[in-house]
Chain A
Amino acid sequence: MKQVPQSQAPAPGASQGKAPASRLSVLDAIQDLGLLAIIVIGAIALGLLSPVFFTRINIENLLYSSTIIAVVAIGQAFVVLVAGIDLSVGAVLALSSVLCVALPLNLGLPVGLAAVAAVAMGAVVGLVNGLAVTVIKIPALIATLAMMSIARGIAFIYSDGRNIAPVPDVYLDIQAMRVFGIPVVILLTLALFIVAHFVLSRTRFGRSVYATGGNAVAARLAGIRTNRVIVIAYVLSGVAAAVGGLMITARLEAGAATAGFGYELTVISAVVIGGVSLFGGEGKIGAVLLGVLLLGLVQNAINLLNVPANYDYVVSGLVIAIAASLDVYRRRYVEAGLLRRSIAGKQAERSRQENKPEKQHA
């Protein structure tokens, strides 16, 4: 095969050693670090403003209260990665909450079985969402919006709009459980993130998720069953939301049809702040965790700084907008930095070439 001279190499940086090879991973790392930096700076600022912030109880509370959003966000991340969106998660969470308390009370189902039934409900809802999107081809926004209304409605019908109590003791026991002094719920949530990270980065399914979200046609032509991948993503989201429902039941000490109102937007915000592209195919689950933490920090700040309750939503919305804008600027800045480097490298290369004797071309 014909050897092409160096100057034909596609990447201008190809002869600059290793820099371009790691360019993207550096970029990714800086993006994640940027989010981390925002969180750290925010935490320090909050610590200065409120002496309560850096207490063990407050930190634990912050993490603990983020766990539900975190778990639901894992499922949502899969859906957004396949270029979908799941608006039904808040409603599924509520229905799961109602079922896991009401089934033992009304039907005498064992508590464990009721929890499994609630999670299975989440899976079925996800399956229906997935089939609606892939087979009937309803846009995801509409399909899951309809499901959001239906699931919330069933929760209200079944509970008659009342909080259902008492919650089985086992929920409260798990909630209170600690390992090495850390609430077990926090540890389990972290474990779920590690599992999700592994699935996305190391398994055939995870690779198929990125390929399907990145270019569904190309993925299908490469032999990936894209419809199946998409359906599984919605099922995972439904399951995650149902698990979130079990968690919120313990927190509220009731099965509540009103639980998780507006959670879908918080969860999607966390996923997007975490850098998952709404166009699909791009993003990391670790960064989603950071997105969740940032939102948790904001909520914590609202509580600690006594922001009037009515301002809650406005403040949250502003923070999401600011975080997203900062992210855009940061990316631009990083790219500009890389650009400067590549120009410098190219100029160096050019002067090198100009110094070379012309003989070698002859």
Chain B
Amino acid sequence: MSANLQTAGRRSESRAWTAGSPILVARGIGKSFPGVVALDNVDFEIRAGEVNALVGENGAGKSTLIKMMAGFHAPDEGEIRVDGKLLSASPDAAHAAGVATIHQDHHLVPNMTVAENIMLGRWPSRFGIISRREQLARAEEVLARVVPDLSPMTLARQLSPAEGQLVEIARALSEDSRVLVMDEPTTSLSPPEIERLFEVVDALKAQGLGLVFVSHWLEEVFRISDRVTVLRDGKLVDSIPAAELDHAKVIKMMVGRDVEEVRSSPREPGKVVLKVDGLSRAGVLDDISFTVRAGEIVTLAGLVGAGRSEVANCIAGIDGYDEGTVSIDSVRVAPGSPKKAINAGIALVPEDRRHQALVPQLSVATNISLSVLDRISPGGMISASREAKIVQHAAHSLSIRMASPSVRISTLSGGNQQKAVIGRWVARGPKLLILDEPTKGVDIGAKAEISEIIIQLVAAGTAVLLISSELPEVLALSDRVLVMRSGRIAGELDRDLLSQESVMNLATMG
């Protein structure tokens, strides 16, 4: 071990990126689950004062590796050592060894204060009576390193997701953690919050912590990391200093092939399908009016919280609204009923796949046919042959990869789950398809496939309303872009005026 440390030390001196000695070393890790891609002979290192970005498509094995470092899974093969000591597979052991994991949604007790949460389970006490003063003092000490402006007396339920994450980091620091594993920490954060998180990460790095950063956003990866480790199909592709990499190289390592970017050709839209007129909802949406024509992709762009999903929810009948009208083919759609919206020809692929779309206990087939139950069950009885036909068609036309339509949908990869959800709505042949962040949390290969599916649907005459935060996707697919800002449409951009700058200008300018 000491020899290892020495070589690592020497190497760090000779390199431009200053990395310290390895804190956590995983060697030859192998792991299998029924129905889930395993890890296969993976080596991984976390060094002091280094941010190691773990990237790979969904199902590449990132989560499994992270869960192993957090002590939730035991490796079938290989070993993980922290400071040379074998890490046993229990969350307690991981904590004791100084490995802390920060999840995308914070895990705090909502009705306890920030201070209580930071000291959770380790409240300083004498004879079982908690010493509030000491608790506060110790919480303040670690908070000062992360969020100095947050009061330790705030209740956890009042925190924003970003603050929650920072409090979790503070908790990790209070445990003297030396390794911080951050699993897609930026997913629910706004750009300024992300920047704040990165400042904290930079500070912690300077204090000698080893950090692991998982993200689908390569811009973030390059902004924050010193080293990029790429996994593919459970195997280690490579672990390379970030300075020696660029965007295209990483993507190529992740997918093992070149991804062709989908460019949609200019289309000839038909008649108006969706007409939204003066849609308003107190405090959320203000006088939203636009149309979407058959064979046209209109995109709602803007920052998170600008009201894009709210527009979609009003159109799809999930939420009611105070003023305005929504019409399909000039017929008004009754507000506040998803069923009526569906019958009017509206379909919504929601943003939150897990909570709003999947029924995890049911099979892929059952999940797909959920939207067409009325069509496949004359007299209330489900016709197995009609169902099979619809499912087969959806699975084939969307190339959903699965062992069989009868497997649980939860066993599929994120991209294939999403294709199944899209298939659910394509099966109904909607006039208007609303896609809210359809490629969120989906790997790059599936992203391209989903873009392709959208283009095919539009070519067949479907009107598409797209919501996307990924500007390259917006630019590649949209015929028109409506940029939203604080519940209003701030501007409209035609295809020939589209650029990242024009969209961001409208989205961010007050």
Where the two chains meet, the residues of A that have a C-beta atom closer than 8 Å to any C-beta of B are 1-2, 4, 7-14, 20-25, 202-205, 207-208, 210-211, 214-215, 217-225, 277, 281-282, 335, 338-339, 342-343, 346, 350
Please encode chain B, from 355 to 387, with 1 for each CB lying within 8 Å of some chain A CB and 0 for all others.
Answer: 111111111001001110110010011100000
Contacting pair A11 B403 (CB below 8 A):
yes
Contacting pair A2 B448 (CB below 8 A):
yes
Contacts of A219 in B (CB 8 A): 359, 370
Q: B233 in the interface, Cβ–Cβ < 8 Å? A: yes
Contacts of A350 in B (CB 8 A): 40
Give the shortest distance, in Å, between A202 (CB) and chain B (any CB). Answer: 6
Where the two chains meet, the residues of B that have a C-beta atom closer than 8 Å to any C-beta of A are 32-38, 40, 59, 76, 233, 260, 316, 318, 338-339, 342-343, 348, 350, 355-363, 366, 369-371, 373-374, 377, 380-382, 399, 401-404, 406-408, 411-413, 416, 424, 445, 448-449, 452
Q: A207-B370, A223-B339 given. 10 additional CB < 8 A pairs?
A: A2-B448, A10-B416, A11-B401, A23-B34, A24-B406, A203-B381, A204-B380, A214-B360, A218-B358, A225-B339
Query: For A22, A24, A223, A335, which residue has the most chain B Cβ atoms within 10 angstroms?
Result: A223
Contacting pair A222 B406 (CB below 8 A):
no
Contacts of A2 in B (CB 8 A): 260, 445, 448-449, 452
Q: Can you sample 24 A-B contacts with CB below 8 Å?
A: A2-B448, A10-B401, A12-B37, A14-B402, A14-B403, A20-B35, A21-B403, A25-B406, A202-B382, A207-B370, A207-B377, A211-B362, A214-B359, A214-B362, A215-B355, A217-B355, A217-B356, A219-B370, A222-B424, A223-B371, A225-B339, A281-B359, A282-B361, A342-B32
Complex CA gap A297/B416 in Å reads 46
Complex CA gap A306/B91 in Å reads 48
Pick the contact of A24: B366, B377, B407, B424 (CB < 8 A). B407
Contacting pair B370 A11 (CB below 8 A):
no
Given known pairs A4-B401, A20-B35, A339-B33, the reply for A205 and B380 (CB within 8 Å) is yes
Contacting pair B356 A24 (CB below 8 A):
no
With both beta carbons as reference points, the residue of chain A lying nearest to B408 in the complex is identified as A24
Query: For A4, A10, A202, which residue has the most chain B Cβ atoms within 10 angstroms?
Result: A10
Query: For A13, A205, A217, which residue has the most chain B Cβ atoms within 10 angstroms?
Result: A217
Complex CA gap A212/B363 in Å reads 14
Contacting pair B407 A218 (CB below 8 A):
no
Give the shortest distance, in Å, between B142 (CB) and chain A (any CB). Answer: 36
Contacts of A202 in B (CB 8 A): 381-382
Listed from nearest, the 3 A-B pairs whose CB atoms lie closest are A21-B404, A214-B359, A10-B413
Contacts of B350 in A (CB 8 A): 221
Contacts of B338 in A (CB 8 A): 220-223
Complex CA gap A11/B416 in Å reads 11
Contacting pair B373 A218 (CB below 8 A):
no
Contacting pair B59 A21 (CB below 8 A):
no
Complex CA gap A11/B234 in Å reads 12
Given known pairs A2-B449, A8-B445, the reply for A221 and B361 (CB within 8 Å) is no
Query: For A224, A335, A350, which residue has the most chain B Cβ atoms within 10 angstroms?
Result: A224
Contacts of A222 in B (CB 8 A): 338, 342, 370-371, 424
Contacts of B366 in A (CB 8 A): 207, 210-211
Given known pairs A10-B413, A12-B35, the reply for A20 and B407 (CB within 8 Å) is yes
